[in-house]
Amino acid sequence: MEQVIIGVDIGGTNTVIGIFGLHLSLIEKFFKQSSELSIKNPDRFIQSLALEINRLVGRKTIICVGVAVPGKVNGERGIVELATNLGWENVALATDLSEILKVPVKIEHDVRSYTVGEAMKGAGIGYNNIVCLTIGTGMAVGSIVNGQLIAGSDYLAGELGHDTVQGHTQACACGKVGCLETIVSAPGIARLAAEAVSSNKKTLLQEVNGEITAFDVYEAGLKGDEAAKEIFKFVGTTLGRKLATVVYLLNPEIIIIGGGVAAAGDMLLDPIRKTLEVECPYYISDLKIKIGELGDMAGLIGAAHLAQVKEG
Amino acid sequence: MEQVIIGVDIGGTNTVIGIFGLHLSLIEKFFKQSSELSIKNPDRFIQSLALEINRLVGRKTIICVGVAVPGKVNGERGIVELATNLGWENVALATDLSEILKVPVKIEHDVRSYTVGEAMKGAGIGYNNIVCLTIGTGMAVGSIVNGQLIAGSDYLAGELGHDTVQGHTQACACGKVGCLETIVSAPGIARLAAEAVSSNKKTLLQEVNGEITAFDVYEAGLKGDEAAKEIFKFVGTTLGRKLATVVYLLNPEIIIIGGGVAAAGDMLLDPIRKTLEVECPYYISDLKIKIGELGDMAGLIGAAHLAQVKEG
């Protein structure tokens, strides 16, 4: 009977289930709307997820399951301590899912899973000291130091999106003002674009119907729109200054940028690199700065990998 | 025959040699002027140091030697790659000293040795995630994550003193401007004091004969001098903002402040703590912020401890 490893990436909108072979080669992946799995009710969600996994794998044998969760995850105890976007608190996800599926289940923070995915199969292959960012609705960091994934003393390591940028006063959903992710995120970029438009800047963004998205800014930038390029320059420079502190602290070999906003490619990478050249002259020659290679798949692959890892 | 472990802490001015029992209890320590040991000539320094160690231990048996070095240290290969203040480049300190003494020698960066010292015998006992700062002539950080000392991919982790503070333009010896240690260091504090005096602020510092030192500022602060307290508040707040990024990234259990400037105690800790309360509201309740407990001894103890550690 064919043996498979399951990776799951839970999101507020979609939950992705991946079926992997034993060497983490993807056999198939499936998208489910999270609402269809009753995401707001953790007990029902776990049952629906288990059903769905069993249905998808059919007669194959599951070896283990890894789940990436957008929240504060105690990976050792297998508990989602808090997932604000899902409305979860102290959900024993690993134990409960394991009881139904009768196989070992590991869970991890989504950005840390993403980081492990890029480290194992993506831009981070061969590196032991990796800083991986995801920039999308929010912004966070996963770090691998000496080959070891960092969770912090209370599973809060990497929430750099809520570190303040001095001199900025945009309100953040977290209750603070000027958090990095009020600038470095898809909504941040959209807001900066809306501000450019309402200040009557001459820009292609004036022609966008309806609400401007980060993708509109990216497209305008590709067409050479100065205002759009200026926005990415500001976002990249702001991020680069914060990353300078990360570089001084951890001296990583590679910084990997993932998440939806990473699609901007060099428009985002160039100002980050230029900023780090100025800020970290003694580090920059040995530092790689790259866009992630796995896109949406990174979290799934990372979760599946973590499921396999034996406890140290 | 009594067995001992030797710890050495090399400084530009003084080199300290500690003789320890097998459980890192200090038996005796000795100060030597580094110039007396020919610090500027690495070969002669190593020979003088070995002679001095052999003289001091007398008939005791040396088990191993650990040396803390102010520079870029490749601990695995035992090489001091660069120590600007000593004028050293690619000095095979561990091998050469080991050849003369006929015992294993380990070397490590001074601030990382300091961090290990505080972790093993000082303020960090019992913690696995430690951020330790030394603030003196310069400023740097040592980090222990999941119980593991972080050196970075090129032994440059922790040089946070050269991370820029936005909006500051004081020239740093490294060639950049606005480095954190142009503010957060003994010379930084002395400079701020000189500026307060020359701006004709009403302050006890006006009465200092000759050049004002950080210690003068501390003493004036103890006497309630507002300008002096304001300087420590500014230094602590500036440092606190940078530490916020460190906290978001690593989620440590404890931040330990060491080095000469740590003598300022609460005058420095209070603004750091207040800044982190504002910047890191979700982390602060579980975060300890303490002054180091070992003072000058931390580096010596850390080096001696590292000498004992078996390779993983």
Structure confidence by residue, pLDDT tens digits, B174-203? 999 999 999 999 999 999 999 999 998 899
Same domain, A130 and A184: yes
Neighbours of B28 (CB within 10 A): 11
Q: Is B3 exposed, middle or buried (0-12, 13-18, 19+ CB in 10 A)?
A: exposed
Task: Give the ipTM of the model, two decimals please.
Answer: 0.96
Same domain, A112 and A156: no
Q: Which helix or strand (DSSP H or E) is residue A299 part of?
A: helix A297-308
Same domain, A169 and A223: yes
Structure confidence by residue, pLDDT tens digits, A221-267? 999 999 999 999 999 999 999 999 999 999 999 999 999 999 999 99
Same domain, B284 and B178: yes
CB B158 within 8 A of CB A248: yes
Q: Which helix or strand (DSSP H or E) is residue B131 part of?
A: strand B130-135
Phi, psi of A213 (to 5 degrees): -110, 170
Same domain, A158 and A258: yes
Structure confidence by residue, pLDDT tens digits, A202-227? 999 999 999 999 999 999 999 999 99
Nearest CA in chain A to B140: A249
Q: How far is A155 from chain B (nearest CA, A)?
A: 8
Task: Identify the CATH number of the domain in which residue B139 sits.
Answer: 3.30.420.40
Structural domain includes residue A78: yes
**Residue range A17-37: mean pLDDT, rounded:** 95
Whether the CA torsion A276, A279, A285, A288 is positive or negative: it is negative
Structure confidence by residue, pLDDT tens digits, B1-16? 799 999 999 998 999 9
Residues of A in contact with B168 (CB under 8 A): none
Structural domain includes residue A22: yes
Same domain, B153 and B68: no
**Residue range A31-51: mean pLDDT, rounded:** 96
Same domain, A52 and A150: no
Q: Is B128 exposed, middle or buried (0-12, 13-18, 19+ CB in 10 A)?
A: middle
Same domain, A157 and A276: yes
Contact B148 A146 (CB under 8 A): yes
Does A237 contact B at CB distance below 8 Å? no
CA angle in degrees (0–180, nearest 5) for B195-B196-B200: 110
**Residue range A149-163: mean pLDDT, rounded:** 97
Contact A153 B249 (CB under 8 A): no
Query: B247 is written with which tokens?
Result: 């906290």
Structural domain includes residue A121: no
Strand ordering across the sheet containing B26-33: B26-33, B14-20, B3-10, B61-69, B105-109
Same domain, B164 and B245: yes
pTM, two decimals, is 0.96
Amino acid A223: pLDDT: 96
For chain B, how many structural domains are there in total? 2
Contact B143 A252 (CB under 8 A): no
Query: B72 is written with which tokens?
Result: 């870029």
Does B279 contact A at CB distance below 8 Å? yes
Structural domain includes residue A16: yes
Structural domain includes residue A286: yes
Inform me whether the pLDDT recorded for B309 exceeds 90: no
| Domain of B258, in residue numbers | 125-291
Phi, psi of B120 (to 5 degrees): -85, -35
Contact A164 B128 (CB under 8 A): no
